[in-house]
Amino acid sequence: MAGPGLGRTEQHRKRSEGTASALLRKMLESSSVLLFIVFVLIFVLLLFAVLIRKNAAAALIWHEIIREKITNFIMNQSKEQRILDFVLQNAVRGDPRSVVDAIDKYCTQKEWAMNVGSEKGIILDKTVEEVNPSVALELGTYCGYSAVRIARLLKPGARLLTVEFNPEFAAVAKQTIEFAGVQDKVKILEGPSEEIIPQLKKKYEVDTLDFVFLDHWKDRYTPDTILIQECNLLRKGSVLLADNVIIPGAPEFLKYIRNNPRFQCTNYPSHLEYMKAEDAMEKAVFLG
């Protein structure tokens, strides 16, 4: 007959085995759950990779939200600052063409960004050269890419006023513009476009605008175009050029501008900056 001590030892052993078995089951269950989550994440990423190649909207979500946020968190630095750092390290100071090329290289090889880009940049260049503006307005400065691109083509004495709502973008753009050596031709105006446009005549001594480049929030294209007219900032022959009218898209602007007898419109099919997705620019000449 087993003594009481032996019985307690047996009970303790069985309890220990039961606890170990329960712990093992929990570990296996946890491992299964973790493995399932990993498989789901891999599947989602693969699915997203397919969508990115076939769907521009998915590509923008990936580049502008998911990848950018992750990279910003890991590097503790904004994408815009990384673009500026690349320019400072690889472009030639005082050479605007070199600055433009450096940004295009970074956004093609490393991280997508919402500049007008090299392909549509050619359309922008040709339009600026045709208009040969004395006073130009840009709505949406971002990192200063298009401001540098426009400024390098301006004749002596001409000026570009560029409006940026985001102070962090404006700070990066200021350094980009100064590094390119075109700061004497470009003035950054910080704040909402709907507040700055009515100030152009008195505060910034603008009589009329020869050229306007719209590349900011797409839902502001139409109201800002109307506001520019209401403020009597256009003359006969003034030219508006709007980017991204297909992606992300500006359908209300296209409807407004194409059905307005005071404008003569031309569409320039192209591709979304640094992607193969179809996009376009819309040129509108003010007829007076």
| Residue 205 annotated in ligand binding | no
DSSP-H helix ranges across the chain: 4-54, 56-61, 68-75, 79-90, 96-109, 117-131, 145-151, 167-180, 193-196, 200-203, 221-230, 251-258
- Is 114 or 190 the better-scoring residue by pLDDT? 190
Domain boundaries, the chain: 81-286
When computed from its CA atoms, the radius of gyration of the chain, rounded to whole angstroms, is 28
Q: Of residues 80, 273, 279, 282, which has the active-site annotation? A: 273
Q: Is 273 a catalytic residue?
A: yes
Residue 60 has pLDDT above 80, yes or no: no
Q: Is 125 a catalytic residue?
A: no
Per the prediction, the chain carries an average pLDDT of: 87
| Residue 244 annotated in ligand binding | yes
Residue 99 has pLDDT above 70, yes or no: yes
What would the mean pLDDT of 10-18 be, rounded to a whole number?
53
Q: Is 215 a catalytic residue?
A: yes
| Residue 215 annotated in ligand binding | yes
Q: Is 218 a catalytic residue?
A: yes
pLDDT in tens, 224-274: 999 999 999 999 999 999 999 999 999 999 999 999 999 999 999 999 988
Q: Is 10 a catalytic residue?
A: no
| Residue 146 annotated in ligand binding | yes
Planar angle of CA 33, 34, 38, nearest 5 degrees? 115
pLDDT in tens, 112-160: 898 999 999 999 999 999 999 999 999 999 999 999 999 999 999 999 9
Q: Of residues 80, 104, 210, 215, which has the active-site annotation? A: 215
Q: How many CB atoms lie within 10 A of CB 202?
A: 8
Q: Of residues 80, 138, 224, 243, which has the active-site annotation? A: 243
Place of tokens 């502008």: 64
| Residue 243 annotated in ligand binding | yes
pLDDT level of residue 1 (50, 70, 90 thresholds)? very low
Q: Of residues 244, 279, 282, 283, which has the active-site annotation? A: 244
Q: Which of 7-16, 31-40, 123-132, 254-263 has the lowest mean pLDDT?
A: 7-16
d(CA 281, CA 124): 9
- Please name the fold of domain 81-286: Rossmann fold (3.40.50)
Residue 276 has pLDDT above 90, yes or no: no
d(CA 133, CA 129): 8
| Residue 95 annotated in ligand binding | no
d(CA 54, CA 264): 34
Supply the pTM of this predicted model.
0.78
What would the mean pLDDT of 216-223 be, rounded to a whole number?
97
Pick from 224, 221, 205, 228: nearest CA to 159: 205
| Residue 92 annotated in ligand binding | no
d(CA 281, CA 267): 6
Which pairing describes strands 234-242 and 209-214: parallel, antiparallel, or unpaired?
Answer: parallel
pLDDT level of residue 25 (50, 70, 90 thresholds)? low
Q: Of residues 79, 120, 174, 218, which has the active-site annotation? A: 218
The residues with which 281 forms a beta bridge, in sequence order, are 268
